[in-house]
Structure 1
Amino acid sequence: MRTISALWLRNIRGFVRDRVKLVTSLVIPFFFLYVFSSIFKNDQVEDPIAFLLAGIIVATVFQTSLNIATSTIDDTVSGFMKEILVSPTSRFKVALGQMLSAATISTAQGILILIIGFFTGLRFTNWETIIYVLFALMMVGLVFSGLGLFLASKVKSASTFQVVQQAVVLPFTFLSGAYIPIDFLPKVLKFVSYFNPMTYTTAFFRTIMLEKGGLPQEDLLKLGLVFDLNGFIITPWMSGGIIAIFGALFLYLATNSFVRADFNKISRNPLASK
């Protein structure tokens, strides 16, 4: 337990001290809010700003939770991670500490954007919604921190990970409906989006944050919160179950890969890994 708490506290402190990165992570989401807000203006969406803001928050939590890979690689290159791994503590506890810290940091960033969002006109009609939103943010952060740790245990250099990260982040976010409605995508990309875990994550979180769970199924379908796969309807709550399944898968892959990984091969210089 001490290993988990120590890694969690160390990463939290690093997040708080890196003020430039913190401010940048808060500015960029509102840049996207300004650029893409007009896309969601239609008869079905009552508040396009809040609708897009929900997608931006969940996308930010997703991207931040993947940054665990960057910190893990940096810790390995500096020698910190290697010192921990040669200690008597189990690698499973180290992996759990890394993922919990990533989930905490990503959730905190989501909360900060949410707080700023209240100044743009965002409102909740029920106080319970805040609790559901926080729970959803924590779940999303934990799910995708597993994916981030899995990637960290597979790459051989920090520069390689930057390429891998962009290859994951861009399609996952832009094919999820977070920034651009799925109905706007070409048929091929729309089909691909149904295999994207972020698609169901966005629909699930957006339903909770906008308090649309009580709407008829037809209205939810028009809003892109329900998916019709050849007559099979995926409701927002089924999307939550799909996220849980992906979370269990990412957790298994992350811990299994982290335990077996050889971190001596990781370097900053891509030529050194050859």
Structure 2
Amino acid sequence: MTSAPRFLVTRSPTKAQALVGELLTLLPDAKVDCAPLQQAVYLAPQEIEPADFAAAWVTFSSANGVAGLACWAESRGTTLVRLLAPAKVASVGSATADALARHGVAVDFQPSVSDAAHLARELPLAETKTVVSILGATARPHLVRDLRARGAQVATAVVYDMADYPADSPLVAEEQPAGTVALSLEEARRHLTDYTAIAATAPSLLKKLVAGLPPHTLPPVVAIGATTAATARELGLRVGVSASPGPGDLARALYEQLRSPSAEGPLPGQPPSNARPDAS
């Protein structure tokens, strides 16, 4: 009798809810474990003032950036919607746009593909070349670099960092769904070889999860995008990639992994060499 497939997702149970629902629709007998590994914590941005947001594009690449800037606005005696009232707002991805909407902030621009590369390439700079980019401490430099290459004057506001889960004072408090468990790093690593596949949602999380473990003993990885997939290959892991970061596409990529041969080789969903990078 074949055992039920078991997957590990590098997200909290709350953030993984949609993915788990999609996956259980495809594989009703599957077991899905969640290992957040890290949580965002607030960082007070340096060298930025409320006046810097006037007549500027303000770019957000994550919901954590929205929460971090909202904390800073509160510390300055205002709200996020008031702070951004004189600005134009650009967002990567629907989750980030939804986070802004919860603060009453309308999004003026979203790129055609939800990643930093397309945001940098497509952001309209005709009206203003002034940009304030809201970032995390570990953000890749591509967005700022590419905007500056287009002639933009870019200031950065680093409003959060990532701490080991569970963080003492997380930036965003999550209510864990009933009946779910968030595994610690040690718990996830202890049983890593038991999983059918790992759903990897960020390069840094994948590196932390498999650090020092023999790659040939580990399950294949289904990556959320091309950047995480490239990291998995560098680590010597078998890898496939989701067609998009959306929970439906990621669930389908995990489902397709079950139909791949057990021998070494590319998984279904292997990206072409020109695949888009992950959102950052």
Where relative contact order (Cα < 8 A, 6+ residues apart) is larger, the structure is 1
More strand by share: 2
TM-score in terms of structure 2 length:
0.25
